[in-house]
Amino acid sequence: MKGFFSLPGERLFHVATLSALGFLLLFFVGIISSLATYTDWRQFFSILFSKEILFAIRLTLFTSTMATIISMVFAVPAAYAISKTNFRGKNIVDTILDLPIVISPIALGAALLVFFNTSLGRALEGNLMRFVFEVPGIVLAQFTIISALAVRLLKATFDSINPRYERVGRTLGYTKIKVFFKVTLPLARNGLIAASILTWARAVGEFGATVTVAGAMKMKTETLPIAIFLNLAQAEVERAIAVVFVLVAIAVIALVILRRFTSRRQTS
Amino acid sequence: MISIRNISANAGSFILKDINLEIKDGEYFVVVGPTGSGKTILLECLAGLQRLRGGEILISGKNITPVPPERRELGYVPQDYALFPFLDVRENIIFGLQPKKISKQELEKKVSSLANLLSIHHLLDRNVRTLSGGEKQRVAIARALAISPKVLLLDEPMGSLDVRTAKYLRLELKRYHEELGITTIHVTHNLIEAEEMAERMAILHMGQIEQVGTPDEVFFYPKSPFVADFIGTPNILDCDYYNDIGHGLIEAVCGGVPIILPHHDGPVRKLTLLPRDVYVTTRTPPGPGINRFRGTVMEITPFSSLIKLTIKVGEINLLAELPQDIFEEMDIRTGHEVHLILKLRSLRVY
């Protein structure tokens, strides 16, 4: 190593890149650990197991899991179509699907709110179920934010699958649909799991669209990010911090599982 | 009999144009051509994996053009074999039998007979990721043969193998073909592989067939400048004297040069030899002086990774080929005197 970075220019470059890395690491570890200094650990667990926070945890896990399942049901075939099919206007479709990733979630939430004020939106709410300021609204808001991300991640998975596998499957007596279930999906397994975890984690942390569509109502539409918002607004900083720790813990678990699957994918 | 009639296909910017071929039952047919000539697309058209723009494909008189790949009953071994990494070797082999709902006993019987044929019994429970290139090839062939196909389609089956393994597996492929008698269409860019395996071969260039024939016909009577360039123009010498000297040998004078030939029934009129079968050396070779000559280098032409030499021997010019690194090591220049050895087994007599 010493010999490799022996030239003065190389050493300078090496120091500069490692310094940037060190700065970012310190920054993130610093802001997370600063929470610990503000926490009264004697009260932490009683706050954590309070009725409100347990409700927020349950609601968040339920809505984010539902949103992930629904988004996967749409994203898997949609990503496959955009990855493996050539059609006119594919680039435009691809760009439209990227929009929800770059548009501010609050703007998307506002768009949903406006939609439910149109005649079609009102008919849906009247005949199907109520979304605005209700739990289904949370699922819908999360779905809106994560489905595009799911399509993007799954498209990358399907793109990486060599079409020869599917071709061999066809010559071995499998129809196009059977090949999708018997060859493509098993090949995409790790990518599917990784995409599910990432989109689920994104849904867990979703705030902007959720608060716009479902509102911020204690013990009704109070997901974990909304619980942070409500408690900070009421100057209940310690309660807010307890929720932050729950979100950090969920994120860490998700990333550990994700790493297991992505590293397995790389070695396969 | 496979009849390919006027087929055309588009794959991206690549076009396959008016391909016509007749492949006999049980024949080992090789399609050879440089990279990008359309070999894989042709094979995919046969397998039903490429949509045809025109023309039709008949197997035993039945038009299979509208038949989807899953009902064509053709065994397909793609480049790099595409073994399913989520299945072990046994599961890969029986993959094509599962839609047929065969009993477990029959499945085992089939796996066992294929494992015997391809000598892969010891691999059956292995993860396919742990197999060597040669092992993967044999498993891929077993998987393709499991469905009892009418035709076996092999796309660059030796492409990712080292020279030694490829040589061994070429012999093995010949053995499977002889044992099963299955019509085989083998696609390759490797001329030596084509010559060794083919009963007949087709030369493909830019989506069109340049020539079809036995390896001898193609190598010694190239029909187009491209084929001649692709295979390398052979040396053709007219013979005006020959005499059987016994021990399976003939003494002849071809192109004014005395040459010893392997026994040949009938008159000796012509002698052909590929440039790669003319050995060139700057030092006097040891051993008896049969088919060894001295010549003068008249011309040196680089051709891809080879160097083509025109060498004057007596009154005739002989073409020889050398790999570039060996040529550079020998430090041969125009006007230099060199020694030539003609490879007895490669001499062809007409």
Domains and CATH numbers, chain B: 2-231 (3.40.50.300), 235-349 (2.40.50.100)
Contact by Cβ (8 Å): B208, B19: yes
Q: Determine, for residues B86 and A189 on separate chains, whether the beta-carbon distance falls below 8 Å.
A: yes
Q: Determine, for residues B70 and A183 on separate chains, whether the beta-carbon distance falls below 8 Å.
A: no
Chain B residues touching chain A at CB-CB below 8 Å = 44, 47-49, 68-72, 74-76, 78-80, 82, 84-86, 95-96, 99-100, 129, 143-144, 147
**DSSP letter at B237?**
E
Residue-wise pLDDT tens digits, A211-254: 999 999 999 999 999 999 999 999 888 889 999 999 999 999 99
Instruction: Supply the mean pLDDT for chain B.
Output: 89
State the Cα–Cα distance between residues B27 and B29, nearest whole angstrom: 6
- Neighboring chain A residues of B85 at a CB cutoff of 8 Å: 187, 268
Q: Determine, for residues B78 and A168 on separate chains, whether the beta-carbon distance falls below 8 Å.
A: yes
Q: Determine, for residues A170 and B69 on separate chains, whether the beta-carbon distance falls below 8 Å.
A: yes
Query: In this predicted structure, what is the pLDDT of residue B62?
Result: 94
Mean pLDDT of the B100-114 span: 90
Residue-wise pLDDT tens digits, B240-249: 888 888 888 8
Res B229 pLDDT > 80: no
- Of residues B348 and A115, more confidence is placed in A115
For residue B263, name the pLDDT band (cuts at 50, 70, 90): confident
Q: Determine, for residues B99 and A178 on separate chains, whether the beta-carbon distance falls below 8 Å.
A: yes
Give the SS3 label for residue B67.
coil
Residue of B nearest to A185 (CA): B86
Task: For chains A and B, count residue pairs whose Cβ atoms are closer than 8 Å.
Answer: 64
CA atoms within 13 A of residue B87's CA, in its CB half-sphere: 22
Tokens linked to A176: 């196009």
Tell me which CATH code domain A38-267 carries. Answer: 1.10.3720.10
Residue numbers in chain A where pLDDT is lower than 50: 1-2, 266-268
- Neighboring chain A residues of B69 at a CB cutoff of 8 Å: 167, 170-171
Query: In this predicted structure, what is the pLDDT of residue A238?
Result: 86
Query: In this predicted structure, what is the pLDDT of residue B100?
Result: 85
CA atoms within 13 A of residue A168's CA, in its CB half-sphere: 29
Q: Determine, for residues A186 and B84 on separate chains, whether the beta-carbon distance falls below 8 Å.
A: yes
Tokens linked to A239: 């309660």
A7-11 CB contacts, 8 Å cutoff, 24+ apart: none
Q: Determine, for residues B49 and A171 on separate chains, whether the beta-carbon distance falls below 8 Å.
A: yes
pTM, 2 dp: 0.79
Res B49 pLDDT > 90: yes
Choose from B59, B70, B77, B83 for mutation: most chain A CBs within 10 A: B70
Nearest CA-CA distance, residue B255 and chain A, Å: 52
Mean pLDDT of the B29-51 span: 93
Tokens linked to B206: 């830019």
Q: Determine, for residues B70 and A162 on separate chains, whether the beta-carbon distance falls below 8 Å.
A: no
Residue-wise pLDDT tens digits, B283-332: 888 877 788 999 999 999 887 677 889 999 988 889 998 888 888 888 89
Res B91 pLDDT > 70: yes
Domain residue ranges of chain A, discontinuous segments joined by +: 1-37, 38-267
Could you tell me how far CA A227 lies from the centroid of its own chain? 19
Query: In this predicted structure, what is the pLDDT of residue B160?
Result: 74
Query: In this predicted structure, what is the pLDDT of residue B156?
Result: 93
For residue B136, name the pLDDT band (cuts at 50, 70, 90): very high
- Of residues B110 and B101, more confidence is placed in B110
Contact by Cβ (8 Å): B295, B235: no
Residues 143-202 of A with CB under 8 A from B: 162, 164-165, 167-175, 178, 183, 186-187, 189
